[in-house]
Chain A
Amino acid sequence: MRKTGFILVALVLLACRAAFAEGPRAESLRFDFAGGDLLGWSAPTGRLAPRAGAARLDVEDEISSFLSPGRLAVDASRFNRLEIDVRVEPPEAGAVVYWTDDAERGFVPDWRLAIPSGRSVLDLSRDPRWRGTIDRFLLTPGPRARGASLVLFELRGARGFRERLRAIARDFSETELRAHYSVNGILGARIGPIPFSLLLGVLFVVLPFLLTLRSARRFPAKGARVLSRGLLAGTLLFLARAGCDEVRILRADTRVLAGKSLDEKIEATNPPGFYPLLYEAKRRIPRGAPVEFRAEKPYPWERGAYYLYPNRVADRANYVLSYRVPAPDDSAACELLFRKPGFGSVYRRKGG
C-alpha cells in the first residue's frame, strides 16, 4: 500500500511538472529599442527618434502616437501577453494601446486598453477582442502628455513560473465560454496541454486500477476501496472545476434574463434585432398566413420558422420577410409593410 502511495505521489508530481513544463519555446515578437533603431515604427504626427536606448516621441497634437509596422501577422491565441515599457511625461497621463486585425480598415475605439506609464504585462488571453491575427498596433500617450519614450514592446506567451501558475489557476477556475457548452458535448478545461478530465481519469482511476492489479489473475479486495476513493477524489476535483462554470453561467444568465418578460428573454437569447423584426412582422401579417422567410440557413431560418408559427414558412408566399439578406427579386412590385434598418423588411406581394 505504501509503495502504491509513493508511486501515486510521484505520478501526481510528474503530471504537475508536465503541466508547468515549457512547451517548445514560442518565439516572441519583440521590439527592443535599446539598440538605437526605430525597428520600423513611425509616428503619424509628432517627432519620433531614437534617443537614450528608447524610441522618443515628442507630442504635437492629439494623434501623436507610436505606430508599429503593418502586417505583423500575430497569432492572438499563441501570443497573448503584451509586455510594454513606456515612460510617459508626465507619468499620470498614461497611454492607450490599440490593435487591429485589418491594417487597411484601421483602428477602432473598441479594441484598446489603457496602460500605465512604466513596465507592464497585459494578459490578453481572456479578452474577447484579442482574437484572430493581429496586424498592427498604435500606442498613444494619454491626454496632456508632453512626450513618451518606448523602451520595449513585446508580444509573447505565458513565461516564468508565476505567469504560468496564474494561467493554470485561471484556466481551472474561470468559466468555459458559453460557446463551449453545447447540447452535444462540452469542450472542458485543460491543464496545460492535457484535458482536465483525462488528467484526473488517468491519475485517479486508470493508474490506481493498474496498480491494484497484482497479477492478471488477482484483484485484491482492498483494491476496490482504493479505486472507489480514487474515483471519489477525482470526481470531487472535477466537480469543483465544473461548479465554477455553472456558477458563472448562472450569474451571467441571471444578470441578463432575470425579471424580464418572455419576449424580452427570447430577444436576449437571439441575435440582436432578430426577434424584434419577427415580432413586428407577426403584428403586420394576418395570423396563419404563409410567409416566405428569406434568411441565411441554417440558424436564422430555422429559428424563424419556429417563432413565426402559426404563420407557416413557405416559398412564394404572399408575405415576404427578409432578414439580413437582399430583398426578393420582385420587391419593386411588392408593398413594403415594415422596414427595420440594418436588419430586414416585410413585404406583401401585390395581388396577394
Chain B
Amino acid sequence: MTAFFSAGIALVLLVAAGEGLLLLLRVGMRRAGLLDRLVASFGSGAAVVGTWSLALALLGVPASGPLLAIPVLLYPAGRILGRGGPIDSVWTRESAPRSVWALLALAVALAQVAYAFRQAVLRPIHSWDAWRIWSFRAKILYIEKGFPEGFFDGDWAGFPGYPLGIPFVEAYLARAAGMWHEPAIKMLFPLFLAALLFVSWRLLAERTDGRTAGLGLLLLASAPLLVHHGSVAYMDLPLAFFLASSVLHLSRWEREKDGGSLATAALFAGFLPVIKNEGLPFFLLLSAIVVVRRTGRGGGRALLRWFAISLPFSLPWLLFKHLGGIAESPYHVLSFPDPASIARRAYDCARLSAANMTLTGSWGLAWFALVFLLLPGRALRRGVPEIVLAGGAILFAAAYCLTESYTFLLNGTALGRNLLVLLPLAVAACLTALFDAGARRNAPSGTR
C-alpha cells in the first residue's frame, strides 16, 4: 500500500512539474477548464520527467530520488516567472455534459477507466513487449540509476534503438515507490487512458456539438482493445495520447492562431519521438502542418516557437541515438523490396486492416464509422485530425511495405496497436464528416 501511495504522490509531483512548465511557457490558465489543464499538465509532466531523466543518464549522473524531484521546482518557478499572465490563450472552458448521450458516454468512460485501473493495480507485468522491452528497460534504469555498461550493446534489454521516454517515467515512479513494484508503476497507464478519452472528447466537442462529442467518447470507451491497453504497460497508448493531444492543441491554434495552443502542441509533439520510433514521422508530419499553415505576420514567430519548444524534448534522444551509433531495430530499417513485393504487401496491409477493423472484438463499432467519410455532398475537411489520420495511415502502410515490419503485419503482432494509435483521430474525422454533412443539409439555403 505504501508503494501505491508513494507512486501516487510522485504522480502528483509530475503533474505539478508539468503545470510549472506550462506556466513558464506562459500558456494561460485563465480561460482553460480545470480538466483540460490537468490533462495538459499530466502530459507535460511526463515529458519533463522523461527528458530530465534522460539528461541525467546522458550526463552519467545517478538518478537519485532528490535529483529526480528537481523538476517539481518548475512549479514555483512558473508561478513566479510566468506571472506576466497568460499569453493569448483561447482554451475554452469545457461545459458540463448536459444531454443524456453525453452523461451516458461519461459514465461508460469512467467505468472503463475504473476497470483499467483495477486491472493495472491487480496484475503485475504480464505482456510480451513489457517483459521483453519496455518494462525491462525501465527496471534496468531504476536499478542502475542510469544506463548500465553495455546497455546499448546487443538486444539483451530490448532493441537498443527503441526510445526510453516512458520507461524513464516508470523508473521515476519506482524510485518514489522505493522498489520495482509493478502494479504501483502501472498506475500510470490508466491515467493515459483517461487523458486520451478526455482529449478525444474535447477534440470532437470543439469541432461539433456536445451530443456528437458524447457519441465519439462512447465509441472510444467501448473499444475493448483501447481499454485493455490501459493496463498492459505498452507504449501505444501513451503514443496515441501525445499524438491526439498535439492534434487537439494544433487544431486550436489553427482555429485561433493563439500562441498558448501552439506551445502546448509543440511540447506534446516534441516528446513523440521519445515514446516510440513511429513518433518521429508523426512529429515531422505535425511540423510540416505548422510550416504550411503559418500565415500572416506572426508566421515566423509561430515557427520559431514550435521548434524552440519541441526540439529540446526530441533532439537529445535523437542526437544521442544517431551520433552514438546506437543500432536500430532490424525491423525498422528501410529495405526497398521489388515493386511486385510492395504491391503484395500493400494488398496484405489493406486486407488485414479491413479484417482487423470489422471482424474482431477489439473496436466495437468505432471503425465502422469510416463509412461516414464517404458521405456525398460533404466538403472534405482538411483539418489537422484528418491530415494526421491520412498521414498516419500512409506512414504505417509504408512501414509495412518498405521495412521488415511486414513480418509483424503477417503474424498479427502490430497492426491492432497501429490502429489503436489512429483510432481517436479516425473517430473525430468520421463524426465530424457525418455531422458536417447533416448540418449542411439542414441549414437554410441562404446560409450554406
Contacts and interface: CB of A to CB of B under 8 A. Distances in A.
Mutual binders A and B: yes
Interface of A: 176, 180-181, 183-189, 195-198, 200-201, 204-206, 209, 213, 216-225, 227-228, 231-232, 234-235, 238-239, 242, 245-246, 249-250, 253-254, 257-258, 262, 265-266, 269, 302-303, 305-306, 309-310, 312-314
B364 A310 contact: no
B205 interface: no
15 contacts: A185-B412, A186-B225, A197-B360, A198-B359, A200-B365, A221-B440, A235-B365, A239-B222, A242-B361, A262-B183, A265-B122, A302-B128, A306-B135, A306-B139, A309-B143
A269 B122 CA distance: 11
Contacts of A309: 136, 139-140, 143
A164 to B, nearest CB: 21
B234 interface: yes
B118 interface: yes
Nearest to A260: B122
A257 B122 contact: yes
A188 B416 CA distance: 14
Contact of A234 (B119, B212, B361, B365): B365
Contacts of A222: 438
B272 interface: no
B211 interface: yes
A216 to B, nearest CB: 6
Nearest to B115: A246
Nearest to A269: B126
B365 A310 contact: no
Contact of A306 (B125, B219, B415): B125
Contacts of B227: 246
Contacts of A253: 119, 122-123
A213 B144 CA distance: 62
A228 B208 CA distance: 13
Given A198-B358, A265-B123, 11 more contacts: A184-B417, A195-B358, A197-B358, A197-B360, A222-B438, A224-B442, A242-B361, A253-B122, A253-B123, A265-B124, A309-B139
Interface stretch (B246-254, B303-311, B368-376, B392-400): B368-376
Contacts of A206: 368, 371
Contacts of B128: 183, 302
Nearest to A228: B215
Contacts of B222: 235, 238-239, 242
A224 to B, nearest CB: 3
Given A183-B128, A183-B234, A224-B434, A218 B377 contact: yes
Contacts of A219: 375-378, 437-438, 441
B36 interface: no
B274 to A, nearest CB: 21
Nearest 10 Cβ contacts at the A-B interface: A188-B361, A224-B438, A221-B442, A221-B441, A201-B368, A185-B416, A205-B368, A186-B361, A238-B364, A306-B131
Contact of B372 (A180, A186, A209, A313): A209
B356 A185 contact: yes
A185 B229 CA distance: 10
Interface in B169-218: 181-183, 211-212, 215, 218
Contacts of A269: 123-124, 126
Contacts of A216: 376
B115 to A, nearest CB: 5
Given A217-B377, A224-B437, A306-B131, A186 B228 contact: yes
B362 interface: yes
A188 B362 contact: yes
A294 B8 CA distance: 38
B225 A185 contact: yes
Contacts of B372: 209, 227
Contact of B360 (A186, A221, A239, A314): A186
B218 A235 contact: yes
Interface in B428-446: 434-435, 437-442
A206 B359 CA distance: 14
Contacts of B126: 269
B93 to A, nearest CB: 25
A196 B365 CA distance: 10
Nearest to A241: B361
A258 to B, nearest CB: 7
Contacts of A310: 143-144
Contact of B376 (A189, A217, A238): A217
A235 B219 contact: yes
A201 B124 contact: no
A187 B361 contact: yes
Interface string B114-157: 01001100111111110110011001100110000000000010
Contact of A312 (B156, B182, B435): B156
Contacts of B416: 183-185
Contacts of B378: 219
Interface in B324-354: none
A195 B119 contact: no
Interface string B392-434: 0000000000000000000011111100000000000000001
Contacts of B139: 306, 309
A180 B125 CA distance: 18
Contacts of A303: 131
B40 to A, nearest CB: 28
B224 A242 contact: yes
B376 A197 contact: no
Contacts of B215: 228, 231-232
Contacts of A204: 365
Nearest to B441: A221
B242 interface: no
Given A183-B229, A185-B412, A306 B132 contact: yes
A228 B183 contact: no
B434 A227 contact: yes
